[in-house]
Structure 1
Amino acid sequence: MTDDFKFSNASTLAAPATSAVAITPSDSAQLDRVSRAVFIGGAGDLAVLFANDATAVTLKGLVAGSILPVRVQKILSTNTTATNIVALY
């Protein structure tokens, strides 16, 4: 399939995601790479380690269907109640 936008701005953070991976929250495993954004399929809280931080932060009261423009290295199982989480790249 032809991709008319392949070389225009695909690598900038403002560009739309070009791949995605379903995430199982884990207190030990890091993501394969830092996310561009995170999709929340089921409402709840999301505990993360941001790309350049070592302190966990819990984002509370997230709405189902939200896309968070956050760059995270880890999505923690402790304090995460949101479901159907997808990392966007």
Structure 2
Amino acid sequence: MQDPFKSRVPNLNGPATDLLPVVPSDALDLPAVAVALFVETAGSLSFVAQSGETRSVNMTDFSILPVGTRRVLASGTTATGIHAFVVG
């Protein structure tokens, strides 16, 4: 199978290289900073942005939040089916 990612240098201008399931936690960061989050089921999403600031937003079903994210917080998060877009 041909792999179009084989010689590609990961960067923020191209597609994510993986989509990881997220378990919200008040104590643990994601394994890698996400470049965006995908939410399957609507609700509130509380997170720590790449900048270190804590934010909360209301998400609709099947929506994408294009914000660098370090951690998705359990406290204040009611959205479910959360996935992290990662690069590299």
Q: What is the TM-score of this pair, normalised by structure 1?
A: 0.86
SS at match of 2:44: strand
| Ranges of 4+ aligned residues in structure 1 off by more than 4 Å | none
Give the count of matched residue pairs.
Answer: 86
For the aligned residues, what is the CA RMSD? 1.4
Q: Shift of residue 3 of structure 1?
A: 2.1
Q: Shift of residue 13 of structure 1?
A: 1.1
Aligned-partner residue type, residue 7 of structure 1: S
Aligned-partner residue type, residue 2 of structure 2: T
Q: Summarize the Cα distance change of 1:26–1:5 in structure 2 as closer, same or farther, 3 Å threshold.
A: closer
Gaps of 5+ in 1: none
Q: What is the TM-score of this pair, normalised by structure 2?
A: 0.87
Gaps of 5+ in 2: none
**Is residue 2:88 matched to residue 1:85?**
no
Q: Hey, what does 2:3 align to over in structure 1? A: 3
